[in-house]
Structure 1
Amino acid sequence: MDRLPSRLWIEALVRRAQLSGASAFIVQHGDDDRGDVLIKVARLDGTAAAYVPSTNLEGERVFLNLEIQGVGPDEVSVDDYVRRAKSRDSDLWIVEIEDKEGRAFLTEPVED
């Protein structure tokens, strides 16, 4: 099955976050159809997490918590990663979610 266009997927993510009482912002608008995605979740206490899509062994779309690669939990290291990713890929969607509970609002599984 084909994936949704990136723009529609991002709009749904932002809406889920907002309906749950969190704030969500599109920091960088990527390619509408096939742009990659980077999600930053700021917990508003100086910590944050970064998530990127991947594919598991079964071929299903999952998201990776980049803390396994040393990105976070301090917000400064997440911001540094986001800055580098932004400069590497102009088609990248970057979404920042601000939520004290640290919810990412992803419907896909997250692998830590």
Structure 2
Amino acid sequence: MRLRSDIWVAAYLRRVAVEGAAAALRRRGAAEAGAIWIKVDRLDGRAALYGPAPQSESGERGIERLWLRAHSEEWVAPEETERRVAREVAFDPDLWLVEVEDRDGRCWLDLAEPLAPSARRT
């Protein structure tokens, strides 16, 4: 059984705050099962957007939620992430969006793909 989206987001916001970064809920989605997207802004003109990986990948690894970067580059312009979010909202109006501001680019997510050491979960 998967944790409800509203509970997961509340815990994630707390985790980010405990780690000394800022996070804000920009869009509230469906409480029970809305897809969650995370934007990480490094505050230097670089950002990353993470979306849910297929549930089949999460189950294979025994992880509650697994994430994929929504672009091929490690970091992109914040405007590019905003365009992608707008497309996702048009497709799924029940999604959640959390924005993290962290100069180190930390995301605190279990990623389905390898990243450079500076972007990995710490």
Task: Tell me if TM exceeds 0.5.
Answer: yes
Number of aligned positions between the proteins = 109
Normalising by structure 1, report the TM-score: 0.86
Give the aligned partner of residue 74 of structure 1.
77
Percent identity of the aligned residues? Answer: 37
Structure 1: unaligned runs, 5 residues or longer: none
* In the alignment, structure 1 residue 37 sits paired with structure 2 residue 40: no
Indicate if the aligned counterparts of 1:62 and 1:111 stay in contact, CA closer than 8 A. Answer: no
How many angstroms apart in 1 are the aligned matches of 2:94 and 2:52? 15
For residues 29 and 75 of structure 2, the distance between their equivalents in structure 1, rounded to whole angstroms, comes to 23
Task: Please report the RMSD computed on the Cα atoms of aligned residues, expressed in angstroms.
Answer: 2.0
Unaligned runs of 5+ in 2: 115-122
TM-superposed CA distance for 1:88, in Å, is 2.5
1:101 is paired with a residue whose SS is coil
Cross-structure match for 1:26:
25
What is the rounded CA distance, in whole Å, between the counterparts of 1:110 and 1:97 in structure 2? 19
- In structure 2, C-alpha distance between the alignment counterparts of 1:85 and 1:49, rounded to whole Å: 15
